[in-house]
Amino acid sequence: MIKAITGTKDILPVDMPKWHALEETVRNVFSNFNYKEIRTPIFEETALFARGIGESTDIVSKEMYTFIDRSETSVTLRPEMTASVVRSVIEHSLHKQQGLNKLYYFGPMFRQERPQAGRFRQFHQFGAEGIGSNDPALDAEMIIMAYDIITKLGLKNLTVKINSLGLPESREEYKKLLREYLSDKVELLSEESRKRYETNVMRIFDSKAENDQKIMAEAPLLIEHLDEESLEHFKLVKEILTSANVIFEVDPKLVRGLDYYTHTAFEIVSTSVGSQSALCGGGRYNLLSKEIGGEEIPGVGFAAGMERILLACENEKSFEPKEYESDLYIARLDKSLYNVVIDNAIKIRRNNLIVEYDYNHRSFKAQMREANKINSRFVMIVGGEEYERGETVLKDMSNGEQFTFKIDATTDIIKKITG
Ligand code: HAM
Instruction: Specify the higher pLDDT residue, 322 or 110.
Output: 110
Q: Which atom of ligand 1 is nearest to the CA of 282?
A: 31
Q: How far apart are the first and last CA of the chain?
A: 48
Q: Is residue 152 part of a domain?
A: yes
List, as one string, the DSSP characters of 346-359.
HHHHTTT--EEE-S
Whether residue 155 is found in the same domain as residue 248: yes
Query: What pLDDT does residue 95 have?
Result: 96
Q: Is residue 356 part of a domain?
A: yes
Give 405's Cβ-side CA count (13 Å radius).
21
Q: What's the Cα-to-Cα distance from 386 to each of 107, 360, 392, rounded to whole Å?
A: 51, 24, 6
φ/ψ (deg, to 5) at 411 = -60, -40
Q: Is residue 123 part of a domain?
A: yes
Instruction: Encode pLDDT of 12-45 as tens digits.
Output: 998 999 999 999 999 999 999 999 999 999 999 9
What CATH number is associated with residue 390? 3.40.50.800
> Angle at CA 60, nearest 5°, toward 54 and 63?
155
Residue 40 neighbours by CB under 8 Å, 6+ apart: 78, 81, 84, 85, 87, 88, 105
d(CA 342, CA 346): 6
Using the 8-state DSSP alphabet, how is residue 126 labeled?
A: E
d(CA 123, CA 9): 8
Whether residue 239 is found in the same domain as residue 383: no
Q: Exposed e or buried b for every residue in 61-84, given b needs 16+ CB within 10 A?
A: eebbebeeeeeeeebbbbbbbbbb
Report how far Cα 10 is from the mean position of its chain's Cα atoms: 16
Q: Which domain holds residue 295?
A: 13-167+227-316
Question: What distance in angstroms lies between residue 126's CA and the mean position of ligand 1's atoms?
Answer: 9
Residues 42, 31 contacting (CB under 8 angstroms): no
What is the number of domains present in the chain?
A: 2
pLDDT confidence bin for 323, thresholds 50/70/90 = confident
Whether residue 248 is found in the same domain as residue 363: no
Whether residue 287 is found in the same domain as residue 351: no
Ligand 1: residue whose CA is nearest its atom 1: 281
**Ligand 1 site: residues with CB under 6 angstroms?**
80, 82, 111, 113, 118-120, 123, 125, 127, 129, 257-258, 278-283, 285, 301-305, 307-308
Q: What's the Cα-to-Cα distance from 244 to each of 105, 239, 285, rounded to whole Å?
A: 24, 9, 23
Of the residues 292, 316, 340, the one at which a domain ends: 316
Instruction: Encode pLDDT of 161-210 as tens digits.
Output: 999 999 999 999 999 999 999 999 999 999 999 999 998 899 999 898 99
List, as one string, the DSSP characters of 310-330.
HHHHHHHT---PPPP-EEEEE
Q: Is residue 204 part of a domain?
A: no
Q: What's the Cα-to-Cα distance from 172 to each of 202, 227, 284, rounded to whole Å?
A: 10, 12, 17
Question: What distance in angstroms lies between residue 390's CA and the mean position of ligand 1's atoms?
Answer: 60
Whether residue 265 is found in the same domain as residue 376: no
Q: Exposed e or buried b for every residue in 89-114, given b needs 16+ CB within 10 A?
A: bbeeebbeeeeebbbbbbbebbbbbe
Query: What pLDDT does residue 334 have?
Result: 94
Ligand 1: residue whose CA is nearest its atom 17: 119
Question: What distance in angstroms lies between residue 293's CA and the mean position of ligand 1's atoms?
Answer: 23
Q: Is residue 177 part of a domain?
A: no
Ligand 1: residue whose CA is nearest its atom 11: 305
Query: What pLDDT does residue 278 have?
Result: 97
Length of the chain: 419
Residue 197 neighbours by CB under 8 Å, 6+ apart: 179, 182, 186, 189, 204
Instruction: Specify the higher pLDDT residue, 27 or 319.
Output: 27
Q: Which atom of ligand 1 is nearest to the CA of 280?
A: 10
Q: Which atom of ligand 1 is nearest to the CA of 256?
A: 2
Average pLDDT, the chain: 96
Q: Exposed e or buried b for every residue in 165-203, given b needs 16+ CB within 10 A?
A: bbbeebbeebeebbeeebeebeeebbebbeebbeebbbb
Whether residue 295 is found in the same domain as residue 337: no
Residues 123, 109 contacting (CB under 8 angstroms): yes
Whether residue 300 is found in the same domain as residue 342: no
Q: Which atom of ligand 1 is nearest to the CA of 309?
A: 12
Query: What pLDDT does residue 320 have?
Result: 80
Question: What distance in angstroms lies between residue 79's CA and the mean position of ligand 1's atoms?
Answer: 9
What CATH number is associated with residue 124? 3.30.930.10
Of the residues 294, 316, 338, the one at which a domain ends: 316
Q: What is the mean pLDDT of residues 386-412?
A: 96
Q: Is residue 256 part of a domain?
A: yes
Query: What pLDDT does residue 321 have?
Result: 76
d(CA 205, CA 209): 10
Of the residues 316, 342, 357, the one at which a domain ends: 316
Question: What distance in angstroms lies between residue 81's CA and the mean position of ligand 1's atoms?
Answer: 9
Question: What distance in angstroms lies between residue 92's CA and the mean position of ligand 1's atoms?
Answer: 25
Question: What distance in angstroms lies between residue 317's CA and the mean position of ligand 1's atoms?
Answer: 23
Q: Count CB neighbours of 135 within 10 A.
A: 17
pLDDT confidence bin for 288, thresholds 50/70/90 = very high
Query: What pLDDT does residue 177 have?
Result: 95
Q: Count CB neighbours of 371 within 10 A.
A: 25
d(CA 407, CA 419): 19
Query: What pLDDT does residue 375 have?
Result: 93
Whether residue 270 is found in the same domain as residue 402: no
Q: Is residue 178 part of a domain?
A: no
From 6, 125, 129, mutation site for ligand 1 pocket: most ligand atoms within 8 A of C-beta = 125
Q: What is the mean pLDDT of residues 125-146?
A: 98
φ/ψ (deg, to 5) at 325 = -135, 155
Ligand 1: residue whose CA is nearest its atom 18: 119
Query: What pLDDT does residue 325 have?
Result: 83
Whether residue 106 is found in the same domain as residue 142: yes
Whether residue 312 is found in the same domain as residue 359: no
Residues 142, 150 contacting (CB under 8 angstroms): no
Question: What distance in angstroms lies between residue 206's CA and the mean position of ligand 1's atoms?
Answer: 15
- Residue 322, pLDDT > 80, answer no
Q: Is residue 340 part of a domain?
A: yes
Whether residue 272 is found in the same domain as residue 333: no
From 48, 80, 112, mutation site for ligand 1 pocket: most ligand atoms within 8 A of C-beta = 80
Whether residue 278 is found in the same domain as residue 407: no
Signed CA dihedral, 207, 212, 213, 216: sign only: negative
